[in-house]
Chain A
């Protein structure tokens, strides 16, 4: 057997470095879980952050990784939310976790069917089609009021205790623990996914579909796959909202929700998994503060942030993170040690 050459070692090291856990990631999740015990008075807003982060993560999978612009991602969010609320209201499925899974699978099915509509066409057509699908669903939910409660929203759903033991209380304690756990599990899956060969192929499809097909990638199939997965994530995010508030409304499908979501992702930065999480935290804190001042004029501030972000430049906006990233790199002592080891390896004859 031929001994591995240093370049191969270096290449393996470099390829797998991305997927390795950074110390700050541990910190992030430890803080997120510690908040279950440490910040009980903030659980309601933390729950909102958790499902919003999941929703943004879902959009990131299609926009940041696969390059599909969507103005109607709320379609899947609302669909999942209504499924969860209906299952609870009519006592079809009483276990919240099972209902959550069903909502996710339902949204995935919708995502799969509608994914064929976004395969072709320019950004503008994709915008319109995604927007159109969300509007259609909203219209449907409005029309079939006997089932969905129409414009009043779906009221009267009672969410049974989690695993039959943990009741959803009005302070959101159970809700937050539940939401952050779901977020973490789905984040882990997404993290594997984007660092896998499949994730790499998504980036290639985003970067150059012509070349992707010239190396044997079925561009359409990959887009269908990721759109379906992302729809499932969005559906679960919507179901989390519906379960933690025991309510679903037409507003879940609204254009504003899809547009807010774009903002969330853009604040945090698209194309890396923590973008949606950071964006969700900033967005909700901002919303909490500004809408306490003037709830009605909150959209003005969203709009202003969007305009400023674009005028300043999205790339430049995310440079505010550069000092943090440098700090992070310095903090990553394990990576430094490995890099040193690899370069020593390379110098040996």
Chain B
């Protein structure tokens, strides 16, 4: 297997806190990789580093072997690193149709097109509608995003990311805060992601992690603690210790 996204000794220090400590992570093409760890382990910081929202204090990030550490966020999206947010970051005044249409037109590099009227490219509209259908959003495409039910907004979070046609998709707790009865809709959407998309999933819910991931990395205090297949991680006594709140014996 080939490595698509890799970090080498990645570090992020805030004043007095080390949020990411010497993380060297390799994510293989097509993987379903989960990143777990207790609260405050630095998972979201790691995503912010990978997407370029934050600048690393040290180390490098490679995509297909190319150093992208200094590439700004929006260019990383064009290169194929796309994320969702743990707390919805949507355009409240736009409708799902406009949101997805916007993401598609940006991906095609038509975002600076200021003369053509929105909706005048049939292929763009049909692609957008196709994505909305996949995420069961067709019944609300003309409503303002801000008034949608929370579960629909979570679906839209993922749909927007998919519209960017990611090569590596970073899912930051996709099911966070979703009521139990709407949960399966999100999970089936996550499970139905195309095989050629590499997924890095951040999740607290162990059921989701173990049903989804083929590889798991455990992050503790900003550092990589254990990495392996779900079976290996499940058996690992140190991981259990961390989750039960005890200090691991040999760490």
Please state if A208 and B90 are interface contacts (CB–CB under 8 Å): yes
CB distance from B48 to the nearest CB of A (A): 10
**Interface digits, A188-213 against B, CB 8 Å rule (1 contact, 0 not)?**
00001101111111011001101101
Question: In angstroms, how far is the closest chain B Cβ from the Cβ of A207?
Answer: 4
Contacts of A120 in B (CB 8 A): none
When C-beta atoms are compared, the residue in chain B nearest to A195 turns out to be: B117
Asked if residues A7 and B138 are in contact (CB atoms below 8 Å), the reply is: yes
Given the known inter-chain contacts A11-B141, A208-B91, please indicate yes or no for A218 contacting B72, CB distance below 8 A.
yes
Name A5's closest neighbour in chain B (CB-CB).
Answer: B129
The answer to whether residues A16 and B106 also contact, given A7-B129, A215-B163 and a CB cut-off of 8 A, is: no
User: In the complex, are the beta carbons of A197 and B77 less than 8 A apart?
Assistant: no
Are the CB atoms of A203 and B93 closer together than 8 Å? yes
- The yes or no answer to B187 lying at the interface (CB within 8 A) is no
Q: Indicate whether A124 reaches chain B with its CB closer than 8 angstroms.
A: no
Q: Are B97 and A201 in contact (CB under 8 A)?
A: no
A15 to B98, CA, bound (A): 8
The answer to whether B73 and A213 touch across the interface, beta carbons within 8 angstroms, is yes
Count A interface residues, CB 8 Å.
34
Query: Does A165 touch B at the CB level, under 8 Å?
Result: no
CB 8 Å contact bits of B116-142 with A (1 = contact, 0 = none): 111110100110110001000010011
User: Would B117 and A215 count as touching, CB distance under 8 A?
Assistant: no
CB of A204 within 8 A of CB of B91, answer yes
Contact pattern, A 4-30, Cβ under 8 Å of B = 1, otherwise 0: 110110011011101100000000000
Interface centre among A19, A204, A219 (most CB of B within 10 A): A204
- Contacts of B97 on A, CB cut-off 8 Å? 11, 14-15
Number of interface residues of B (CB under 8 A): 50
> B103 CB to closest chain A CB, in angstroms?
4
Residues from 1 to 57 in A contacting B, C-beta threshold 8 Å: 4-5, 7-8, 11-12, 14-16, 18-19
Contact A216 B78 (CB under 8 A): yes
Secondary structure dominating the interface of A: helix
Docked complex Cα distance between A15 and B117 (Å): 9
Q: Which residue of A lies closest to B142 (CB)?
A: A14
Q: Is the CB of A217 within 8 A of B74?
A: yes
Q: Is the CB of A215 within 8 A of B160?
A: yes
Q: Is the CB of A192 within 8 A of B114?
A: yes
- Residues of chain A within 8 A of B114, CB atoms compared: 192-193, 196-199
- Interface membership of chain A positions 293-328, coded 1 if the CB is closer than 8 angstroms to chain B and 0 otherwise: 000000000000000000000000000000000000
Q: With A200-B118, A216-B78 as given contacts, are A11 and B128 in contact (CB-CB < 8 Å)?
A: yes
A92 at the interface (CB under 8 A from B): no
Which 5 residue pairs across A and B have the least CB separation, nearest first? A15-B119, A216-B77, A198-B114, A16-B119, A211-B89
Q: A12-B122, A197-B114, A204-B91 are in contact. List 9 more A-B contacts (CB 8 A).
A: A4-B122, A8-B122, A193-B115, A198-B114, A211-B160, A214-B73, A214-B82, A215-B77, A216-B107
- 10 pairs, A vs B, C-beta closer than 8 Å: A7-B141, A11-B129, A14-B97, A192-B117, A198-B114, A204-B102, A213-B73, A214-B51, A214-B89, A216-B164
